[in-house]
Amino acid sequence: MKYFRLEKAGSFTTWRILVNFWSVVLFAAIIYDFFTTNSLSEHEILLAISAIYGAALAIYSAEKEFRRWHRMHTSLHPGELYAVLWTILIVALIVGTIAYNPSYHLPAEVSAAYIGVIGILAITRESKNFYRRREKK
């Protein structure tokens, strides 16, 4: 029940909750956009949602790395899970476009969000590896 208690605005837990919330919202919006043949992307609603998601993810990831380097980060919330979920979504959209909805086109903001997730994962993994190597010395 720790997710339902009132947290101090701007806390690390609050950013994790926001990222999870905007992940669900963005995934739902992308799926809705697919089934309505780009209705959200045509009105730039998907762009707005993906921008909010990207900003929240960047802030959360930066905070997590800051906490790691200052020895305040102890919890395990693997970013690989986000990358796996995004990959499954992108593959499903490609296969779905071929098999079900050839009129659909993958919006640039969806590709950009996926690239952002992969990029953040690569940077944070390298930071984690560097931190571990440094700690062994």
**pLDDT for the residue 1:** 46
Between helices 80-99 and 108-136, what is the axis angle to 10°?
A: 150
**Coil/strand/helix, residue 26:** helix
**Coil/strand/helix, residue 4:** helix
**pLDDT for the residue 6:** 45
Extract the tokens encoding 97.
């476009």
Mean pLDDT is lowest, of 11-25, 26-40, 41-55, 87-101, for 11-25
Read off the pTM.
0.81
